A and B are shown apart, each in its own frame.
Chain A
Amino acid sequence: MPPRFTPERVRYDRRYRTLDKYRFVVGFLAVPLAFYALFVISPFLQAIYYSFTDWSGGPVAHFVGFDNYEKMWNDERFWDSLQVSVLLLVIAPVVTLVLGMFFAYMITSGGRHRRGRAIAGVAGSSVYKVVYFFPQVLSVAIIAVVWGRVFNTNSGLINGGLDKAGVDGPAWLGGDETLGLISLLTVISWSFIGFYVVLFSAAMGAIPKDVYEAALLDGAGRARTFFNVTLPLIRDTVRTGWIYMGIQALDTFAICLVMVPPHVLKVTPVFLYERFRDGQYGYATAIGVVLLFLSMAFSLIVMRVGNRDRIEY
């Protein structure tokens, strides 16, 4: 009851106020929790259950134990897709993070003695940070369409350029698995590098300037400063970024579905989606469960690898 209608005799009663508080808490949480439980939590839990059934979209689903997983084990197309996904999981974070760190270091610490400081960003660093971030604000579907045109064999940007130089460009997405994988990696790294430049710039910007001044006095060059000062100090951010990028690479769906023709190669989420389209719901959810375990295992491994004492500054 709003305070102005609350009877005077109960208004200051502790029990009334507790009741009022709980009514408010329940009232505000009910709708968000209901939405979340119905459309997020319950599908996740159902997915794990359905992965053990032969569900094909109808009202009935029979429990079949590990049949779906066994089928997956023997399905060559699943292994093909998993090979692509695991390659992305391993290579994409390395490429993206190395380039992202390089650009971030140039932007935050590349300009020595600029403006009289021991260390500062190169000229125009704020412009770089804005432009590099462009791909990150676009829809993955649109990125996939744009790059599909860039890689197009006959009327694409790359082969058009090679044409002018007198070279016959390859059919990037035309049928060769390696070229397809390279194209996919390029687009994934391209779309995420700007994000990591901004993320690492923020981490590098938080390092106190006197640490750099000390390194400079000791005669450390730029490369040495990076490996001995900057990198150890931002290790936690790099690890977080690595996990995040790995999971992003594993989740690659739209880029592969829209850009790469299905006969060239497909990643596991696309393989899952195709099984869903075929009506093999039980099988599709089992593939999803495997993806979940793969991303959890990856996160755990990366966390163990980089786990050393945190450096305080």
Chain B
Amino acid sequence: MTTTTTTAAQPQPQKVPSSAVRREKETGGALNVFSHAFLILWVVLAAGPLIWVALTAFRPSAEILSDPMGWPASFHWENFSNAWSKANIGQYTINSLIILAGSLTGTMLLGSMAAYVIARFTFPGNRVIFMLFAGGMMFPVILALVPLFAVMENFGLLDTRPGLMIAYIAYSLPFTIFFLTSFFRTLPTGVQEAAMVDGASHTRTFFQIMLPMAKPGLVSIGIFNFLGQWNQYLLPLLLNNEDEQSYVLPQGLASLAVSQGYRGDWGALFAGLTIAMVPVLVVYAVFQRQVQAGLTAGAIK
């Protein structure tokens, strides 16, 4: 994180063809400096709080309280082990990973199955089912909150891992199906027909021919769902609030932040935040093109 900030802070010299130099002087100058300053200021604002958290994670609690802006005098790695074991961050991370393994697999499998059928087959109700799924993107989740709690309770799924996975899957389906339906429509029909002529069943055509062809779309929506489900807070708060040992990572950190007011191990809280932030930021840095494309596609639905 620090390295990107420093590179951004040093704008490279602009290569301007000689014919344009005069004009550049007329329109550029003060305005250029001004706008560059704004751009760099926002780099500091966007990354600053995150870097502050990561640096403070190495300082002892007493120091954080007396001088919040200070540089770590020495690196206190024990904050991280305290966060991991004593503050339960390790348990929360494992919970998050288990839930995500189930929910992401389920979302991708069920989402691509439904999207494939909607995109490539004509049957009565095709359009209605698509609208039903797409319509789900428009409603605020908070409205469904209370009855969902009761539905989960009736099925005996409240405060269970399968229950949380199912909820994640159900609420990820609308956008996943919406996105993948338009993606499956763009794939050529010839390959599918050739497979059928060669005697492949519909199921086999789907898993062996169409899914591999849809890989770019699956990757985009997969990363989108990975981030969305890893970061989920509202659903676990509602459906998984009984036992503190079963909290997922964002939920655990939020409850830790509240309880730290009484216990006061701020170093562990900052270390916990760092543990939660760094992997996501690394995944994002690696896949940033797909992440940006996937997330912005979500806005223009």
Contacts and interface: CB of A to CB of B under 8 A. Distances in A.
B12 A123 contact: yes
B94 interface: no
Interface residues of A, number: 106
B132 interface: yes
B257 A155 contact: no
Contacts of A152: 68
B222 interface: no
Interface in A137-153: 137-142, 144-150, 152
Contacts, number: 302
Contacts of B273: 142, 145-146
A127 B69 contact: no
Looking at chain B, what size class is its interface with the partner chain?
35 or more
A155 B295 CA distance: 35
Contacts of A24: 117, 121, 201-203
Interface stretch (A76-84, A87-95, A207-215, A237-245): A237-245
Contacts of B231: 137-142
Given A128-B8, A137-B284, A113 B17 contact: yes
Nearest to B136: A40
Contacts of B98: none
A160 B55 CA distance: 15
B247 to A, nearest CB: 11
Interface string B46-69: 110110110000000000111111
B281 interface: yes
B139 A44 contact: yes
Contacts of B250: 139-142
Contacts of A124: 7-8, 11-12, 39
Contacts of B117: 24-25, 28-29
A27 B207 CA distance: 14
B136 A20 contact: no
Interface in B1-44: 4-5, 7-8, 11-17, 20, 23-24, 27-28, 31, 35-36, 38-39, 42-43
Contact of A123 (B14, B49, B199, B277): B14
Given A41-B132, A142-B277, A35 B284 contact: no
Given A3-B201, A160-B68, A240-B300, A145 B257 contact: yes
Given A102-B38, A148-B257, A3 B199 contact: yes
Given A38-B170, A160-B68, A288 B299 contact: no
A275 B199 CA distance: 59
Contacts of B300: 199, 237, 240
Interface stretch (B77-85, B171-179, B213-221): B171-179
B262 interface: no
Given A141-B254, A195-B299, A258-B254, A131 B35 contact: no
Interface string A148-173: 11101011110111011000000000
11 contacts: A21-B123, A24-B121, A24-B203, A32-B111, A33-B129, A39-B167, A47-B147, A124-B12, A142-B273, A146-B50, A193-B42
Interface of B: 4-5, 7-8, 11-17, 20, 23-24, 27-28, 31, 35-36, 38-39, 42-43, 45-47, 49-50, 52-53, 64-69, 110-111, 113-114, 116-118, 121, 123, 129, 132-133, 136, 139-152, 166-167, 169-171, 173-174, 177, 199-204, 206, 227, 230-234, 249-251, 253-254, 256-258, 266, 269-270, 273, 276-277, 280-281, 283-285, 288, 291-292, 295-296, 299-300
